Structure 1
Amino acid sequence: MTNDLHIVMHVPKTGGQTLRDHFRTKLVFHSEFIHLGPFGVADAQARGIPAWEERSVEERAKARVILGHYASVFTKDLVPGPRVVKYCGVLRDPAARVVSHYNFNVEDKWVRAGNGVPEWSWWYRGQKRNFVCRWIKENFLKENTNDVADEQMFDDVTRLLSSFWLLGLTEDYETFSDMLCADVGVVATGGVRSNVAGEHYPRRAVVTPEIAEQVYRDHPVDKALYDWVRARVGTSKT
């Protein structure tokens, strides 16, 4: 077991919940494994555990894996001691990601609230252009995206990802998760997945050639970023 600190960037709908559920059973939750996202924050509050940034130096020093939508490049500053920081992250084909986002968002925010199911076309029109690149720049880099040109945003995000210890693709998810788990020193996930449309809630939309064409046209920086990661890490899938 190493003393490395693994910080996992969790772009929405890229398999982060699978890792969350795995690490919180294989490591000491809220101590060795910190989930900086709605689930982890709410669970800590329910247990009477202080917010991550308010915990003692001694407690924060125990962290080995930090994951969640709220993790950023500044999260490492809250972990004391000489640590090797290893950033990790998974990207997903933009069309597959936005369809997955629709399926989950509709179930989580609409159906479970007793509301009707919004049509795909209506829901899709409300999505931010180049959602993934904007999300990474705003949430992980903590930088503003207002008036940032597409080329600059692509350069900023690829510069960040070039520094990552481990990058992966959702279509080759087990390769990524196996390497991460091995480096952390816990057993692999064994292919178990969490929060999958069609298994854990209905799949109300699927990727069609028409949807893929539309997403790639509307989100060109996200498509370029995905292609960049794909070329960089390769895939065992054909």
Structure 2
Amino acid sequence: MKAHLERHFVMDEQLVEFSHWGRSYRKTHGRADFADRPPEERARAEILSGHQTWYGIDRLVPRPREARYFTVLRDPAERCVSLYNFRWSRGHAPDDFERWYRDYYLAEQRNYMVRFFAEALYGAALPEDDAQRLAMAQQLLTRCWFVTTVDRWNEGLDFLCDAIGIPADWQHHRAAGDSAPLPASHPSQSEVVARRLILDDDLRARIRADSPGDVALVDWVRARRWPLTD
């Protein structure tokens, strides 16, 4: 979606990216970090996006502004295989998926989405109880204007484009093995993520069994229709 947004908003002024993409763009063009800019420059921002955003980031934009948070969740099995393919394509994962899964995924990525959203609201000192962590993650998501899942992302993109007021003629840019070229501003513009591993039913079941909290969170999101009205 961010590549589509760049077609309609000025990069790093109206559309500010908090990720490797954004950092690379600012370094290349000699631009200051967003938080270090004067208020009149930060006031031009309309969309703050990226993997390094956080709940409360809207406070960087001078008020009065209405902040609408949205996010996308992914089935943990699909997320795991996508992450492996992405990291393997960049030389950051071994050929042996089982070793990567045991040493990296189970150690650092199990129930990652629950932990990520719970920490976004409550900080890193989370309780050990899995049910409490799940409830904390759900509490954060109920504060968001729009939440969807990857399997509903086409519908979600159409909704968001309509809400923002731009055409919905978007393209998928990062599908493993097949993707449209990224914008020239992207540091990995020519990269294609290899489909090293394909998710089958047995692997899906195993990954989901290892991350029951993330499974529950995704199912909880799917059971609701966003934006919430109550």
- Tell me the TM-score normalized by structure 2: 0.85
Give the distance between the partners of 2:163 and 2:41, measured in 1 at CA: 22
Paired position in structure 2 for 1:12: none
Q: Are residues 167 and 230 of structure 1, via their aligned partners in 2, closer, same or farther at CA, if it must alter by over 3 Å?
A: same
Q: Which blocks of at least 5 consecutive residues in structure 2 are unaligned?
A: 179-191
Residue equivalent to 2:59: 77
How far 1:135 sits from its partner (Å)? 2.5
C-alpha separation in 1, matches of 2:135 and 2:127: 15
Instruction: Give distance in 2, aligned partners of 1:38 and 1:92.
Output: 21
Contact 1:32-1:62 at 8 Å conserved across structures: yes
2:111 is matched with 130
Taking structure 1 as reference, are residues 107 and 145 closer, same or farther at Cα in structure 2, changes over 3 Å only? Answer: farther
Q: How far is 1:98 from its partner?
A: 0.7
Aligned to 2:72: 90
* 1:203 matched residue in structure 2: 195
- Would the aligned equivalents of 1:72 and 1:142 in 2 still touch at CA under 8 Å? no
Over 3 Å counting, the alpha-carbon distance change for 1:21 and 1:131 in structure 2 is same
Q: Could you say which residue in structure 2 is the equivalent of 1:48?
A: 30
Q: Aligned partners of 1:133, 1:189: CA distance in 2, in Å? A: 32
Q: How much does 1:118 deviate?
A: 2.3
Count of matched residue positions in the alignment of Structure 1 and Structure 2: 209
1:66 alignment partner, SS class? strand
Shifted more, 153-162 versus 195-204: the winner is 195-204
Whole-Å Cα distance in 2 between the matches of residues 78 and 148 of structure 1?
32
Partner of residue 121 from structure 1, selected from 72, 89, 98: 98
**Residues 159-187 of structure 1, C-alpha deviation per residue, up to 9 Å, x if partnerless?**
11112111111112111111112111221
Supply the distance in 2 between the matched residues of 1:78 and 1:144 (Cα, whole angstroms). Answer: 22
Which stretch shifts more, 180-189 or 74-83? 180-189
Measured at CA, do residues 141 and 39 of structure 1 come closer, stay the same or move farther in structure 2, by a change above 3 Å? farther
Shift in Å at residue 189 of structure 1?
3.9
Residue 46 (structure 2) aligns with: 64
Structure 1 unaligned spans of 5+: 1-18, 111-115
RMSD between superposed Cα atoms in Å: 1.7
Task: Give 1:15's aligned residue.
Answer: none
